[in-house]
Amino acid sequence: MQPSILLIETSTQVCSVSLAAGTQIIASRQTTQPKAHASLLAVFINDILQECGMRVGDCAAVAVSGGPGSYTGLRVGVSTAKGLCFGASIPLLQVSSLELIAQLFIDAGTSEDPWRIYPMIDARRMDVYTAPFSVFTADGTGRIARMEGPVEALSITADRFMQDLEQGPVVFTGNGASKCRDIINHPNAVFAALESHANGMARAAMKAFLEKRFEDIANYAPFYLKEFQAIRPKTDF
């Protein structure tokens, strides 16, 4: 029997929860409603568990998107996941928010693998959170996204990805990729419209579970990358 892992993704404006048996998704919920993470995340988790006739303690682990991404979204997702794991005495796993987007592209199926995949999360203005990934075949989890460089907050320029583009097809995807469309003009540039979703966490979460890469529930914190900046509300004078 394949282990069941609860998957929580809150790193972007999309809030989603899925339940995986091994690497297969058996239930899922999502919303694109703005600022709904705090109000709907617990509802989605409860709905999915009830649909599958399970309790949190029946899961082998809980996996959460670990960043980079929205400060508020990551904080809500991680605090919820930690609470579930602590209460049910089950392991906590983390999956890179960029890796899960790259995995969603791979799982969607393509005729041939690109040279690189750059999942992108909007970091405001002309900045994105991104990292280079390639496609790798792993025993037990199939075709997975493998990181080939560091996670960075980058400003999009016309020549930023030129070295990779000269090597072969490069996919830009995620909610930050639209910023590149009018700036990067190269025959090897491929733009794939794709939103982040917990479904993309299944393979990486299963791999981490099998390798026993469990997080310290008490001390784990997400990878924010950029420091949070509070926006002061405007006042009328």
Q: What is the largest CA-CA distance in the chain?
A: 65
pLDDT at 234 over 70: no
End-to-end CA distance of the chain: 65
Residue 140 is predicted with a pLDDT of 59
The pLDDT mean for the chain works out to 91
3 state DSSP class of 106:
helix
> Which structural domains are found in the chain, ordered by start?
4-96+197-210 (3.30.420.40), 97-192 (3.30.420.40)
Least confident interval from 139-148, 179-188, 203-212, 217-226: 139-148
Do the Cβ atoms of 96 and 142 come closer than 8 Å?
no
Q: Cis ω on the peptide bond leading into residue 68 (within 30° of 0)?
A: yes
**CA–CA dist 66, 200 (Å, integer):** 13
Radius of gyration of the chain (CA): 18
Is the model more confident about 110 or about 193? Answer: 193
Torsion of CA 134, 135, 136, 137, to 10 degrees: 180
Reading the block at residue 130, the tokens are 């991104």
How, if at all, do strands 24-31 and 15-21 pair? antiparallel
Q: Tell me the mean pLDDT in the region 30-37.
A: 92
At 139, the pLDDT band (50, 70, 90 cuts) reads low
DSSP at 53 = T
CA angle at 85 for the pair 66 and 34, rounded to the nearest 5° = 50
Q: Tell me the mean pLDDT in the region 74-80.
A: 97
At 196, the pLDDT band (50, 70, 90 cuts) reads very high
**CA–CA dist 237, 235 (Å, integer):** 6
Q: Tell me the mean pLDDT in the region 43-47.
A: 98
Helix (H) or strand (E) holding 189: strand 189-192
At 187, the pLDDT band (50, 70, 90 cuts) reads very high
Is the model more confident about 182 or about 25? Answer: 25
> How does pLDDT run across 120-134, given as a tens digit for each residue?
999 988 899 999 999
pLDDT at 230 over 70: no
pLDDT at 232 over 70: no
